[in-house]
Amino acid sequence: MAKDTLDKTERTRLRRLHEKGSYEREVIHQILDAMPMAHIGYVMDGSPSVLPTLQWREGDHVYWHGSSASRALRAMKGNQVCMTVSILDGYVLARSALHHSVNQRSVMIFGEAEQVMEADAKEVHIKRMFDQIFPGRWEALRPLQPQETKATAIFRMPITQASAKLRDAPPADDEEDYALPIWAGVVPIRMRLGAPVADPRVLEGVEPPAHLGDIRIG
């Protein structure tokens, strides 16, 4: 049975502002589940690169996908990568420039990128991605074709070396600055889904499906 708290490692331990850090598995999972957009750092041809992509979580592993022909994914295979997921919740306006900050939730995960090779397993993971990001959508689609599965690369990484960083607080000013007649506080930032916009080539009479109301983010 997995522990509720991940072990700190040299890569995951927060050295500054450690009070904002969390190694609780539930906190890390909640952030990953709330924000599918991720950035993955890797090395290609001896140079650092970052790939923006969608991620989804299955238990204690995080997954991502892309084209089987992707140079970036080929460079990741079997190598160490770093995934970051961030949610910006607010601008924190203090009484001095130095103490301005942001309220945010973020996760950083280190590990080896493992490629899922079996076609049946790849289709299972693609469906799970849809179930999480676009719930109810999979059953409305035409079946996935074998060549589409072949053209898709699926990668995963265990959530074992990871940490979260969170801030949800008002400004932290120097004590003497609280006497200054300067407004300070938080400007909240919220992500929201807009009204669906139909593809111009949607057939006449086809209405937006009810499952669009199940999509969530943030």
pLDDT, tens only, 129-179: 999 999 999 999 999 999 999 999 999 999 999 999 999 999 999 999 999
Closest Cα to residue 130, out of 144, 113, 147? 144
pLDDT, tens only, 10-67: 888 877 767 788 899 999 999 999 999 999 999 999 999 999 999 999 999 999 999 9
Q: Output the pLDDT for position 2.
A: 66
- Which residues face 139 on adjacent strands? none
Residue 88 pLDDT class (50, 70, 90 cuts): very high
Q: In angstroms, what CA-CA distances link 13 with 18, 21, 45, 85? A: 8, 8, 29, 17
Residue 178 burial by Cβ neighbours in a 10 Å radius (0-12, 13-18, 19+): exposed
The mean predicted confidence, pLDDT, of the chain is 95
- Rg value, the chain, Cα: 21
Are the beta carbons of 115 and 154 closer than 8 angstroms? yes
